[in-house]
């Protein structure tokens, strides 16, 4: 395989229900990727199901991992990246077919340090809509402070910039994505580049958290949501992320 221009990093904990759809979407997008092949790394975290088997069937590189810590899981994948551009996406999400084209276009312009993507749930309900708005209330103040649209969902940036900011902060057990967006944005400012959001590509992400907990769970449990947004509350993170499934 030719040296890849892109490396896609996918953290996955018992994702046999979703990983195939995620990888199929990556494969379709990769068929349009400019300037070479795409390396796909699945970090199989504490998996006891067929996640690794399915990933291997799609030609992905699988890295076993036992960390109960999403930042370390993501960074473990990045440590094996061979591509010049890093893309991170969760195993229960599907990228648009033109994702690599859009990412390459924005980075090649020299105007962007990297950025994120607009996310759309695979189903919607009043409870999900209100919950999403409630979560946004915790993120919008940061965007206003930073004067940037700090969307996450699927991050993309040059590997050298990922390394320059130190990857994902391993002192955080949650909201590591928002923290990464802030640090990437600030790093870009030093070289006259801004944080971007893909204008013509988005991701579809599963509503499985709402399926598991209920569509109104985050609104009914606002204390837990606030604890998750501290980034350092292990008990809250375990309850909502690490000890589920």
Q: What is the 3-state secondary structure (H, E, C) of 197-208?
A: EEEEEEEEECCH
152 in a domain, yes or no?
A: yes
| Domain presence at residue 217 | yes
167 CB neighbour count, 10 Å cutoff: 20
Q: What percentage of the chain carries pLDDT values higher than 90?
A: 95
Number of domains in the chain: 1
Asked whether residue 206 is assigned to any structural domain, the reply reads yes
Alpha helices in 157-204 (DSSP H): 159-164, 176-189
The pLDDT of residue 1 is 54
pLDDT at 239 over 60: yes
d(CA 122, CA 116): 18
pTM: 0.95
Q: Is residue 1 part of a domain?
A: no
Q: What is the CATH number of the domain that holds 186?
A: 3.90.550.10
In terms of Cβ atoms closer than 10 Å to its own Cβ (0-12, 13-18, 19+), residue 134 is: middle
What digits encode the pLDDT tens for the residues 103-132?
999 999 999 999 999 999 999 999 999 999
**Considering only CA atoms, which of 144, 97, 126 is closest in space to residue 216?**
126
Q: What is the pLDDT of residue 154?
A: 98
Q: Which domain holds residue 148?
A: 6-242
For 154, counting Cβ atoms within 10 Å of its Cβ (0-12 exposed, 13-18 middle, 19+ buried), the class is: buried
Average pLDDT score, the chain: 95
The residue-averaged pLDDT of 122-144 equals: 95
Encode pLDDT of 21-40 as tens digits.
999 999 999 999 987 789 99
Beta-carbon contacts of residue 113 (< 8 Å; ≥ 6 apart): 157, 158, 161, 184, 185, 187, 188, 191, 193, 194, 195, 196
Residue 25 belongs to some domain of the structure: yes
**125 lies in some domain:** yes
Does 65 map to a domain? Answer: yes
């Amino acid at each position: 395989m030719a040296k890849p221009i892109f490396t896609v990093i996918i953290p996955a904990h018992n994702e046999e229900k979703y990983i195939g759809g995620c990888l199929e979407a990556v494969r379709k997008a990769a068929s349009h990727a400019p300037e070479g092949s795409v390396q796909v790394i699945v970090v199989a975290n504490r998996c006891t199901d067929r996640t690794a088997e399915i990933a291997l069937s799609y030609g992905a590189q699988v890295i076993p991992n036992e960390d109960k810590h999403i930042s370390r899981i993501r960074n473990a994948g990045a440590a094996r990246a061979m591509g010049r551009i890093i893309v991170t996406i969760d195993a229960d999400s599907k990228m648009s077919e033109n994702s690599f084209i859009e990412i390459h276009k924005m980075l090649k312009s020299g105007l962007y340090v990297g950025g994120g993507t607009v996310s759309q749930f695979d189903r919607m309900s009043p409870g999900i809509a209100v919950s999403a708005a409630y979560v946004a209330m915790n993120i919008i103040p940061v965007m206003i402070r930073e004067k940037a649209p700090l969307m996450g969902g699927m991050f993309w940036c040059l590997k050298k910039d990922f390394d320059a900011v130190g990857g994902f902060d391993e002192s955080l057990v949650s909201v590591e994505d928002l923290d990464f967006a802030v640090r990437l944005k600030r790093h870009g400012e030093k070289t006259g580049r801004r944080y971007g959001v893909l204008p013509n590509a988005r991701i579809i992400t599963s509503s499985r958290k709402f399926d598991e907990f209920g569509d109104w769970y985050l609104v009914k449990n606002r204390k837990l949501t606030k604890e998750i947004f501290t980034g350092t509350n292990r008990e809250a993170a375990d309850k909502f992320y690490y000890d589920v499934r």
